[in-house]
C-alpha cells in the first residue's frame, strides 16, 4: 500500500470523527493531533519499507551473481561448500528483515471505524510486532555476525581463536540490538506515548 492510500484512509477516519463531534472543538483538536501522529508514523514506516525492500532486492541480486560465478566458472571460484553457508545465512537475514518491515507496514492498514479504535489497534499491533521481531533478531543476530566475523578471519588469514570470534559476534549483536532499541525509543516509542495521551484525552471527553 502506498503513502497516499494511507493518507486517504486516515483522512476518512478523521472526517468521521469531526462530523460526529462538530460542536466539540476540543475533541476535534485531539482527533486532528492523533491523526497527524498516525500519518507521521505511517509515512515513516512506508519510506523505510521501500528502502529496505530495494536494498534486499540488491542483496539477493548480489547473492545470485555470486552463485552464478561458482556455477559457470568453477575453476575460478572454488570451495563453494565454504561459501554456501555464508550465502544462506545472509539470505535468511534478508528474508527476515523483509518480513519484519512488511509486518510493520501492516500495523497501519487503516481499517478502523474511529480514531480511538485506530489508536488502540495501532498501539497493540506495534507492541506485539516489536516484541516478536526483537526476540527473533536476538536469536539471529549472533549467527549473522558469527558468519561475517568468520568470513573476515578467513579472508584476512588471521589467527583468531574460535571463542574470541564468538565473543566478538555476541558483542556486535548486543550493540546492534541496543542501537535499534534507542532508535525506536526516539521515534516510534515517542509517537506511541503521544497516541496514548491522545487516547486518554479523547476518553475523558466522552
Please, which residues have CB within 8 angstroms of residue 143's CB and are 6 or more apart in sequence?
A: 89
Quote the pLDDT of residue 51: 92
Q: What percent of the chain has pLDDT over 70?
A: 75
pTM of the entire predicted model: 0.77
Quote the pLDDT of residue 137: 92
| Tens-digit pLDDT profile for residues 13-55 | 555 555 555 546 666 666 777 778 888 888 888 888 999 999 9
Please, which residues have CB within 8 angstroms of residue 124's CB and are 6 or more apart in sequence?
A: none
Contact call for residues 44 and 6 (beta carbons, < 8 A): no
Q: Report CA torsion sign: 56, 62, 63, 64.
A: positive
| Tens-digit pLDDT profile for residues 138-183 | 999 998 898 888 878 877 777 888 889 899 999 999 999 999 999 9
Alpha-carbon gap, residue 93 to 89, rounded angstroms? 6
- SS3 per-residue string spanning the chain: CCHHHHHHHHHHHHHHHHHHCCCCHHHHHHHHHHHHHHHHHHHHHHHHHHHHHHHHHHHHHHHHHHHHHHHHCCCCCCCHHHHHHHHHHHHHHHHHHHHHHHHHHHCCCCCCCCHHHHHHHHHHHHHHHHHHHHHHHHHHHHHHHHHHHHHHHHHHCCCCCHHHHHHHHHHHHHHHHHHHHHHHHHCHHHHHHHHHHHHHHHHHHC
Amino acid at each position: 500500500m502506498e503513502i497516499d492510500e494511507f493518507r486517504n484512509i486516515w483522512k476518512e477516519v478523521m472526517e468521521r470523527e469531526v462530523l460526529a463531534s462538530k460542536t466539540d472543538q476540543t475533541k476535534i483538536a485531539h482527533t486532528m493531533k492523533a491523526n497527524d501522529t498516525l500519518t507521521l508514523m505511517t509515512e515513516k514506516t512506508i519510506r523505510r519499507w521501500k528502502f529496505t525492500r530495494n536494498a534486499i532486492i540488491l542483496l539477493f541480486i548480489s547473492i545470485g551473481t555470486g552463485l552464478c560465478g561458482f556455477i559457470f566458472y568453477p575453476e575460478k571460484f572454488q570451495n563453494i561448500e565454504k561459501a554456501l553457508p555464508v550465502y544462506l545465512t545472509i539470505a535468511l537475514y534478508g528474508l527476515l528483515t523483509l518480513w519484519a518491515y512488511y509486518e510493520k507496514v501492516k500495523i497501519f492498514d487503516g481499517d478502523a471505524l474511529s480514531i480511538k479504535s485506530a489508536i488502540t489497534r495501532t498501539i497493540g499491533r506495534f507492541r506485539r510486532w516489536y516484541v516478536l521481531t526483537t526476540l527473533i533478531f536476538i536469536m539471529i543476530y549472533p549467527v549473522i555476525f558469527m558468519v561475517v566475523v568468520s568470513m573476515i578471519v578467513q579472508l584476512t588469514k588471521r589467527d583468531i581463536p574460535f571463542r574470541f570470534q564468538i565473543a566478538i559476534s555476541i558483542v556486535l549483536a548486543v550493540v546492534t540490538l541496543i542501537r535499534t532499541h534507542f532508535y525506536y525509543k526516539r521515534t516510534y516509542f515517542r509517537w506511541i506515548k503521544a497516541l496514548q495521551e491522545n487516547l486518554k484525552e479523547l476518553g475523558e471527553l466522552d
